[in-house]
Structure 1
Amino acid sequence: MLDRLVDRILGLPATEGPPPTVTRDVEIPMPDGVRLLADRYAPAGTTRAPVVLIRTPYGRGGWSGRIFGAVFARHGLQVVVQSTRGTFGSGGEFRPFHLEKEDGLATARWLREQPWCDGRLAMAGGSYLGYTQWAVGPYLDPPLEAMCLGITASEFVSAFYPGGVLAADDMVSWSALIGTQEQRFSALRGPLRAKRLRRAMSTLPLSAADVAAIGKPVRFLEDVTTHAEPDDPFWAMADHRAEVAGLSAPVSMVTGWYDLFLAEQLRDFRTLAAAGRNPRITIGPWAHGEPGMLRVLVPDQVSWLRAHLHGDRAQLRRSPVRIFLQGAGRWLDFDQWPPAETTARPCYLRPVGGLGEEVPGESLPATFTYDPADPTPSVGGPLLKGKTKQRDNRAIEARPDVLVFTGTPLAADLDLIGEVSATVHVRTDLGHADIYVRLCDVDRSGVSRNVTEGILRLRPGAPESDVDGVVRAEVELEPTAYRFRRGHRLRVQVAGGAFPRFARNHGTGAPVTSAVTGKPCRFEIFHDPAHPSHLNLPVFPG
C-alpha cells in the first residue's frame, strides 16, 4: 500500500509483484585500499541484468535510497546506491569533488565484474549525484548506456563564484549541511539551526562562518573561500567541461528556472546538442531540490533508463526541449535552446528611473553608495536553501543603495524565453566593486517580484575603463522563460551587491578568507547616448 502511494505521488504507474531484494553494506574496494559501502536493489527474480549506479554523499538510507533505490527497483531496474568516500560508512575522507572520477571509475570496473551485472551500466540522480555522473561518464570505456542528469552540471565552480563573486549563502549552507548530516537527529533541528545559519553568514571573515553556524570547521568551506580568486588551478580536477562534447552516452536532463546550476546545465545541453548527441531537457518552475520537481524528475529518469536498458522506448517520443512558461502556466516544446523564434531586444535604462526601447538622451549619471558594513540585502532567487524563487522586492527597492528603473505598463503580454544579459556603464571610486542587476515583474498593484538576476566583480583594470574611468560591465543574468502580463511593468534593479546570496565586496581587494573591514564605494551608472546601459531581452513572439 505504501509503495503504491509513493508511486502515485511521484506520478509513476502502479507496480505489482514481490518487493525488490536489498543487499546492504556491500564493500567495493578502491585502488588505494579504501572500501566504499553500497546497497544493491534487485528486482525480484533478477539473476543477471544491467546496473544503475547512484553515487551519493547524502546517505544510502535517505531519499537517495528510497527514491533512486527502492522506487527504481520496483520499476524493473537493478540499482546500486553507493556512499561516496568518507560518508555514511565509506572509508577515507570526504573532500567534495576531489576523487569522484577515480572512485567512480573503480566502482564501475568492480560492478562489471560481478556475476549479477551483465556488463551494462547507467547512472542517475540529481545535484551532487549528477556531478558524480559527469566525473565518470566521459571517461568510461565501454561507455555508460544512459545518464540521467537532474539539477546538475559538468562543473560546479561557475556556480560557486557566479560573475567572480563567492555565492556565500549557498556555500555556507552546503558546508553546514555536509558538516552535520551524520549527526544524530540532525534532520530534526530545523528552525533553530536555520536561524543560527542565517546569522553565521554575516561572520567576518566569511571563512569562519562554518564554526559560527555549526560549531566546527568544514573542509569544503576552507577550500571554497581559500581558492576564490580568478583562474585558481585548485578546481581544475573538478571541471569536466572539456569532455562534454565527446560524451556518447544518451543524456536526459531536468532542472528548474530557480536552480543554482541552471546556467551551467544549459551550457552542457547546448554543447551536447551542437555535437549531435541529441540530449533532452525539461525545465520547470522549481528551485533546487524542490519536492514538486520529483513528480517530473523521477518519471523522466525511470523512463529514460527503461528505454536504454530494457528497450521500453514509448516515452522517448517528445521534443528535445520542454519548458514551463512562468506567468502563463503552460508547458512548451522546442527543438532547441534557445528557441529559434527568440530575438534579442535591447531595453535601455533611462533618466529619472525610466526604462524603455529608445536610446536615452543626454543625462547625468545616477549615483548610489554601497557600504559593506550595511550590505544591500538579497531576497529570493536561485538559492540552495531558505526562501527561494520569487519574493516581494519593494523593501529592497526602497533602499538608497539600490537604483530602480521602471517601464510603462505593457499594452500586451510579453514573453521572454532564452538568455538574458545586461550592459552597464559604471564608474566607481574604489575600483574594487560588484555590479548587481535584477529584472523584476511589477504587477498592477505595484508588487515587484524578481524574475532573473546576475552579478559581476569589478577589479582595477578588469574590465578596462575608458579615459574617463567608465567601465563597460557585461553581466550575465540567469536564463528564463517568463510571461509579463498586460498591464504589468518591467523593472530593473542596479546595486553594488545582494547579501548574503553573494559575499559582500569590501572595496579593498582583500581575499574573502581574511577580509573583515571595508570601505564605502560610490557608484555612477551612466545612461546616455555614449553610454547606453541596457538589458538584452530574449523576446519570444506571442
Structure 2
Amino acid sequence: MADRADDVQEPFAGAREGFEPLPPARRGGRGSRLVQRLLHLGPPLTRSVAVQRDLPVSMPDGTVLLADRWAPRADGDGLPTALIRTPYGRRGPMIAMAAVPLAERGFQVVVQSTRGTFGSGGVHVPFRDEREDGLATLDWLVSRPWCGESVVLTGGSYLGHVQWAVADRLPPQVKAIIPVVTESALTLDFLREDAFSLETPFRWGVMVAGQERRAAMLRQLLDERRTHRAQFTLPLDRADTAALGRRSQYIQDMLVHGADDPHWSGGDHRARVADVSVPVSSVAGWYDIFLPGQLGDHQALRAAGREPRLTIGPWSHAAMGVFAEAATQTLSFGLAHARGEQPPERAPVRLYVMGEEAWRDAESWPPPGYEPCRFHLHPDGALSTGEPPESDPDGYHYDPADPTPAVGGVRLTGRHAGRKDNTALESRPDVLTYTTPALDTDVEVIGEVTAEIWFRSSLPWADVFVRLCDVDEKGRSTNVCDGLLSLTEAESTTRATVRLWPTAQLFKKGHRIRVQVSSGAFPRFARNPGTGEPRATATTLRAADQQVFHDPARPSALVLPVRRT
C-alpha cells in the first residue's frame, strides 16, 4: 500500500489529497483556545492545523500499523516531528489535547496506533511488540520526505513506556525523549508477590478490552460500579468475565505471572536505560502509579553519567497537571533540542513540596540535606522520635470479606486518587493510628519513606499497610504516601519493612504527623485471603487477629527523610 504522503513535496496544504481540515472547533476556534487555557500554554504560532489520516507503516513481519499526521496547514513539511505511539486510538479529545497544541507551536505530530489497536494490524499483546514495532516505525518516519531532520518522542503512561522500549537504539534524527508518568518496566511493580496491586492492572485490562466499542468512554463511566464489584469476585480468575462478560487474556496473565516471570520479559526495558544517550526530561507525580520505577530510571541515567531532567508535581496519573507539564516539556525542552538549541536553563530536578504548596529546585533525586529520622509508634496511639516504653501490643481484627478500603492515594482513576480526607477510614476498627503532638516547628520531608513494623498475625499469611498522613489544626487527616507488604510467616513476630511511595511534604507548625497501620487498601491492593492459596484461584476468606508491637525490643517506626536544621 502506497503512503499518500510520499507524493507530497510542496509545503503542507490542507487542500491536498489525503489531508482533512480539522473541525472548526479545533481549527483555530474555541477548542484550540480551551486547550490553551487547560494546559497553561502561551499563544500558538498558528491555529490552522490539518490532519492526514491512516498513513500505513509496514512492520518487518508484514503487519501494517496506521498513523495520523498533524501539522500546520501551511509550511508543515520539514518541521521537527513529535512521535506519539499509543494503544488508545488516534481520535478523540485526549489525542487532540496531545497533538494539536504541538502542531500549533512548531511541531508536526505523528500519532500511531500500536499493533492490534484502532485499525492497526496484528494482535495487541500488551508490551510484547513495542521494541520491534517502535524501531521499525522510526525507520519509516525518518525516511519520509516531510519528516525533517529532528524527531522527539513524547507521551505518557503506555505512550511513555514505548519510548523506553527503543531509547537505546535511536536513529540520529531523534534529539530528545519526554517520558511522562511512566517507567521502563511498566506494570511489573504491580505484580510483586509481596505487594500485589489489583486495581490498576485489572481496570486497565477492562478498559483496553472495551475501548473500541461505540461510545466506549461513556460505557466505561456507566460500568464503573460493575467494574468495582467485579474485583470482589472469587476466584479472581473469573473477575474479568464479571466485568466484561468474557475473558481477558491480559487479566488472566497478570493474575498468574508474577513480576519476575519471563512472560513479561518483552516489556522490561530497565537494562536499556543506562545506554540512552539522548536528552531526557521526565514528568512524574507524587500520587502516580509508576513513581518509584520512574525515579529508578532517572537514577539509572544519572549513574550512567547522563544529565536528565525530572519534574515531580502533586499529581495523580490522570491529573490535568500532568497533561500541562507534558506539553510544556515537549515544547520547551523537546523543541529546543530538535532545533539544535539549548532549552531554558533550570535545575536537574524540579519538585513540588506539598504542604508548602510551592516548587523547589534540586540537583539530584533524592536531594541532599535530608537525614533519616525515626518516628516510633508508642502506646495509646502516640508517635514520637523518642524510644518506645515497655508496652503491650495493639491489636485489630482484619476480615477480607469486609476489606479495609483504599481512600485516595495512588490510584489509576483521577476521581479516586490523590489527597483525600481520611477521617472515615481512620474511624474503622481495623485501622490503627499513631499521631505526634502538634509540631512546634515546621518539619520538611523529601525523599524515600519506609516503615519498620513489628507485626504478628493469627494466620501465616497477612498484609501490613502503612500510610503517612498530615493532620491539620482542625483535625483533618490527609494522606501523603503509603505502601503495603505481604507476609508469608506472619504467625511469628516479624519486622515488616514496608516501602512507602517517595514524597515531598512540609508538615507545618501546629500540624501533626500521623501513621496508619492496617492490613489492606482494597482494591488498590488485592485483599489477602489468609489461606496461602494462589491469588487467581483462591475461594476461601479467613479473618485474622493482628498485633502491632511498640516496645524497646520491637520498636516499630516510620523512617522519614527530614531536612537537617
Q: Does 1:402 align with 2:425?
A: no
Q: Which runs of 5+ in 1 are unaligned?
A: none
Larger mean Cα displacement after TM superposition, 512-521 or 9-18: 9-18
**Offset of residue 255 of structure 1:** 1.5
Q: Which runs of structure 2 are paired with 1:133-148 in the superposition (5 Å)?
A: 133-142=163-172, 144-148=174-178
1:31 aligned to which of 49, 54, 60:
60
User: What is aligned with 1:237?
Assistant: 266
**Offset of residue 22 of structure 1:** 2.0
2:512 aligned to which of 489, 509, 518:
489
Q: Does 1:208 align with 2:231?
A: no
Q: Which runs of 5+ in 2 are unaligned?
A: 1-28
Q: Which runs of structure 2 are paired with 1:26-105 in the superposition (5 Å)?
A: 26-43=55-72, 44-105=74-135
Contact in 2 for aligned 1:143/1:248 (Cα 8 Å)? no
Go from structure 1 to structure 2 and tell me whether the alpha carbon gap of 1:392 and 1:50 turns closer, same or farther (over 3 Å shift): closer
Distance in structure 2 (CA, Å) of the matches to 1:525 and 1:10: 46
Q: Secondary structure at the match of 1:255?
A: strand
**Offset of residue 433 of structure 1:** 1.4
User: What is aligned with 1:528?
Assistant: 551
Distance in structure 2 (CA, Å) of the matches to 1:274 and 1:190: 42
The amino acid of 2:261's aligned partner reads D
User: What is aligned with 2:339?
Assistant: 310
Q: Does 1:498 align with 2:521?
A: yes
User: What is aligned with 2:21?
Assistant: none
Greater than 4 Å deviation, 4+ residue runs: none
Larger mean Cα displacement after TM superposition, 493-502 or 191-200: 191-200
Deviations 1:245-286 (A, max 9, x none): 221111001121111111111111111122221111111111
Contact in 1 for aligned 2:153/2:178 (Cα 8 Å)? yes
The amino acid of 1:55's aligned partner reads R
User: What is aligned with 1:172?
Assistant: 202
Distance in structure 2 (CA, Å) of the matches to 1:106 and 1:139: 11
User: What is aligned with 1:249?
Assistant: 278
- Please report the RMSD computed on the Cα atoms of aligned residues, expressed in angstroms: 2.0
User: What is aligned with 2:215?
Assistant: 185
Contact in 1 for aligned 2:45/2:106 (Cα 8 Å)? no
1:387 aligned to which of 416, 422, 429:
416
Contact in 2 for aligned 1:433/1:459 (Cα 8 Å)? yes
User: What is aligned with 1:272?
Assistant: 301
The amino acid of 1:332's aligned partner reads R
Contact in 2 for aligned 1:438/1:453 (Cα 8 Å)? yes
2:326 aligned to which of 250, 273, 297:
297
User: What is aligned with 1:336?
Assistant: 364
Q: Does 1:360 align with 2:383?
A: no
**Offset of residue 295 of structure 1:** 2.5
Contact in 2 for aligned 1:149/1:253 (Cα 8 Å)? yes
User: What is aligned with 1:349?
Assistant: 377
**Identity of aligned pairs, percent?**
46
Contact in 2 for aligned 1:320/1:334 (Cα 8 Å)? yes
User: What is aligned with 2:473?
Assistant: 444
User: What is aligned with 2:24?
Assistant: none
Contact in 1 for aligned 2:466/2:498 (Cα 8 Å)? yes
Contact in 1 for aligned 2:191/2:254 (Cα 8 Å)? no
**Offset of residue 213 of structure 1:** 2.0
Q: Secondary structure at the match of 1:67?
A: helix
Deviations 1:297-318 (A, max 9, x none): 21111112211111343x4301
Q: Secondary structure at the match of 1:244?
A: helix
Q: Secondary structure at the match of 1:440?
A: strand
**Offset of residue 137 of structure 1:** 0.8
Larger mean Cα displacement after TM superposition, 169-178 or 317-326: 169-178
Larger mean Cα displacement after TM superposition, 33-42 or 200-209: 200-209
**Offset of residue 128 of structure 1:** 0.7
Deviations 1:230-252 (A, max 9, x none): 63221122111112122111100
Q: Which runs of structure 2 are paired with 1:402-441 in the superposition (5 Å)?
A: 402-441=431-470
Q: Secondary structure at the match of 2:266?
A: helix
Deviations 1:46-76 (A, max 9, x none): 3335432110011111245313322211111
1:225 aligned to which of 233, 239, 255:
255
Distance in structure 1 (CA, Å) of the matches to 2:287 and 2:464: 21
**Offset of residue 174 of structure 1:** 1.1
Distance in structure 1 (CA, Å) of the matches to 2:436 and 2:46: 60
User: What is aligned with 1:198?
Assistant: 228
Contact in 1 for aligned 2:35/2:97 (Cα 8 Å)? no
**Offset of residue 82 of structure 1:** 0.2
Contact in 2 for aligned 1:7/1:14 (Cα 8 Å)? yes
User: What is aligned with 2:10?
Assistant: none
**Offset of residue 215 of structure 1:** 2.2
**Offset of residue 381 of structure 1:** 0.7
User: What is aligned with 2:483?
Assistant: 454
User: What is aligned with 2:12?
Assistant: none
Go from structure 1 to structure 2 and tell me whether the alpha carbon gap of 1:269 and 1:457 turns closer, same or farther (over 3 Å shift): same
TM-score in terms of structure 2 length: 0.90
Deviations 1:445-494 (A, max 9, x none): 2222111100111124xxxx8xx932221110001111112222111111
User: What is aligned with 1:112?
Assistant: 142
Q: Secondary structure at the match of 2:388?
A: coil
1:474 aligned to which of 493, 497, 506:
497
**Offset of residue 541 of structure 1:** 4.6
**Offset of residue 399 of structure 1:** 2.1
Aligned length: 534
Distance in structure 1 (CA, Å) of the matches to 2:360 and 2:192: 28
Distance in structure 2 (CA, Å) of the matches to 1:113 and 1:187: 36
Q: Does 1:131 align with 2:154?
A: no
